[in-house]
């Protein structure tokens, strides 16, 4: 049994207890630094100016930690996260993020439909959560400088990001793109000429992030410049399938080179795509997770038996058969989540969660910051 980012409560306690009674191996799976009680200190979230939201999140971090402690072992998406798990004395294995069959499908469609927009070069940054302002702030002055130097270059900012950056007289070159569902993300990324992935190296929460932004852009043949976190160093060989930039000077030098050299952008983008298709495909990841699970079994409970590593050819013949049904993503609904909170957390927690929900709706009028 694998519990992915599951917080401890009476229901989780019951299913783990039942699993262990039946000698079922229970693994936790985490892809963010969300199991240390003080992790919130490193998360740049506007939500946390609301004391109720902060308190709820602190409770979630503590409950996540309890779940990990009750599991037999842990799967993480990065080696950095694995290092944090080892400090709490739990067996841990790294199973890196990859792309799904659906993501490959939508990316292929977006690549086919991509059209050059006025032959302009577009620098792109996509943020899936409102927690990356400090990451983006690392390179914002360099981007403003380059936009001023290259009036035909455009910057597209997709998803959640603070609007308060000073763009001076380059503001007209900056376009905001609203957050889109993940199925639509390839359409946005396909318009980028260069994908930007800055992360603060002095922030454990940023360091815990996987190389997923590189993977998503690479599927579309878009070259990525990233900060040299452990995850990006694992995926990117700088100058071959992407670029790693450790300083503002390196960000500026690499961006200037890519802006002025279409051939380099194309070569690096294609190299990144080839690398990701070879190393991050679902079939590759399937073989790897089978090996990891067998390692878990061998170390934790050999009596379970071992998994076969045979991957059906049907995956490549008919990939849509293995797509996750879209109706599954509609659940749990807000109403279903509310019922769950009442049942296992109580009315007070539900009231606090409802406050946070409505506070977010009102945030454009009454901003957190």
CA of 264: how far to CAs of 4, 114, 145, 359, in Å? 39, 19, 22, 46
What's the DSSP call for residue 8?
P
pLDDT tier, 367 (very low <50, low <70, confident <90, very high otherwise): low
pLDDT confidence of residue 130: 83
* Residue 161 belongs to some domain of the structure: yes
Look up the CATH number of the domain holding residue 128. Answer: 3.40.50.2000
255-302 tens-digit pLDDT = 999 999 999 999 999 999 999 999 999 888 988 999 999 999 999 988
pLDDT tier, 305 (very low <50, low <70, confident <90, very high otherwise): confident
Check whether residue 72 and residue 110 sit in a common domain. Answer: no
CA nearest to 205, candidates 31, 59, 64: 31
CA distance 167 to 182: 28
Across-strand partners of 27?
A: 2, 73
Radius of gyration (C-alpha) of the chain in whole angstroms: 22
Residue finishing a domain among 230, 250, 279? 279
* Residue 354 belongs to some domain of the structure: no
* Residue 13 belongs to some domain of the structure: yes
Check whether residue 143 and residue 84 sit in a common domain. Answer: no
Check whether residue 166 and residue 115 sit in a common domain. Answer: yes
pLDDT tier, 220 (very low <50, low <70, confident <90, very high otherwise): very high
Residue finishing a domain among 95, 111, 139? 95
Q: What percent of the chain has pLDDT over 90?
A: 78
Residue finishing a domain among 77, 95, 113? 95
pLDDT confidence of residue 283: 86
* Residue 365 belongs to some domain of the structure: no
Q: Taking the CB of residue 19, how many other CB atoms lie within 10 A of it?
A: 16
- Does the pLDDT at position 368 exceed 70? no
pLDDT confidence of residue 304: 81
Across-strand partners of 186?
A: none
- Does the pLDDT at position 71 exceed 90? yes
Check whether residue 212 and residue 167 sit in a common domain. Answer: yes
Check whether residue 19 and residue 78 sit in a common domain. Answer: yes
* Residue 45 belongs to some domain of the structure: yes
**Residue 187's domain spans which residues?**
101-279
Check whether residue 248 and residue 168 sit in a common domain. Answer: yes
pLDDT confidence of residue 352: 95
- Does the pLDDT at position 115 exceed 70? no
* Residue 243 belongs to some domain of the structure: yes
Check whether residue 70 and residue 178 sit in a common domain. Answer: no
pLDDT tier, 322 (very low <50, low <70, confident <90, very high otherwise): confident
* Structural domain count, the chain: 2
* Residue 307 belongs to some domain of the structure: no
Cis amide linkage into residue 126, ω under 30° from 0: no
4-13 tens-digit pLDDT = 999 999 999 9
Check whether residue 82 and residue 128 sit in a common domain. Answer: no
Check whether residue 127 and residue 157 sit in a common domain. Answer: yes
pLDDT tier, 326 (very low <50, low <70, confident <90, very high otherwise): confident
* Residue 351 belongs to some domain of the structure: no
Check whether residue 267 and residue 134 sit in a common domain. Answer: yes
Check whether residue 77 and residue 108 sit in a common domain. Answer: no
Check whether residue 48 and residue 110 sit in a common domain. Answer: no
């Amino acid at each position: 049994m694998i519990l992915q980012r599951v917080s401890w409560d009476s229901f989780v306690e019951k299913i783990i207890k039942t699993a262990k009674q039946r000698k079922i191996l229970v693994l936790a799976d985490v892809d963010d630094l969300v199991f240390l009680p003080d992790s919130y200190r490193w998360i740049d979230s506007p939500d946390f100016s609301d004391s109720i939201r902060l308190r709820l999140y602190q409770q979630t971090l503590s409950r996540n930690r309890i779940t990990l402690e009750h599991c037999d072992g842990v799967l993480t998406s990065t080696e950095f996260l694995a290092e944090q798990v080892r400090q709490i004395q739990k067996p841990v294995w790294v199973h890196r993020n990859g792309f799904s069959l659906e993501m490959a499908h939508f990316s292929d469609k977006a690549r086919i439909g991509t059209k050059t927009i006025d032959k302009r070069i577009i620098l792109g940054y996509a943020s899936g959560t409102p927690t990356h302002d400090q990451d983006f702030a690392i390179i914002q002055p360099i981007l403003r400088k380059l936009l001023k130097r290259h009036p035909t270059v455009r910057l597209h900012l997709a998803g959640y990001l603070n609007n308060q950056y000073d763009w001076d007289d380059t503001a007209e070159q900056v376009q905001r793109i609203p957050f889109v569902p993940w199925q639509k993300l390839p359409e946005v990324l396909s318009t980028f000429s260069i994908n930007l992935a800055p992360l603060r190296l002095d922030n454990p929460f940023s360091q815990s992030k996987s190389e997923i932004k590189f993977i998503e852009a690479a599927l579309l043949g878009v070259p990525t410049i990233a900060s040299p976190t452990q995850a990006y160093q694992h995926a990117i060989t700088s100058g071959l399938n992407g670029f790693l930039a450790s300083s503002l000077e390196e960000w500026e030098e690499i961006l200037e080179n890519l802006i002025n050299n279409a051939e380099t952008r194309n070569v690096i983008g294609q190299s990144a795509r080839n690398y990701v298709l070879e190393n991050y495909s679902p079939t590759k990841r399937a073989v790897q997770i089978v090996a990891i699970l067998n390692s878990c079994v061998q170390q934790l409970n050999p009596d379970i038996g071992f998994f076969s590593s045979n991957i059906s050819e049907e995956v490549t013949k008919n990939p849509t058969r293995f797509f996750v049904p879209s109706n599954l993503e509609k659940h749990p609904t807000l109403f279903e989540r509310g019922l769950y909170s009442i049942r296992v957390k109580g009315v007070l927690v539900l009231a606090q969660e409802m406050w946070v929900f409505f506070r977010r709706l009102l945030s454009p009028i009454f901003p957190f910051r």
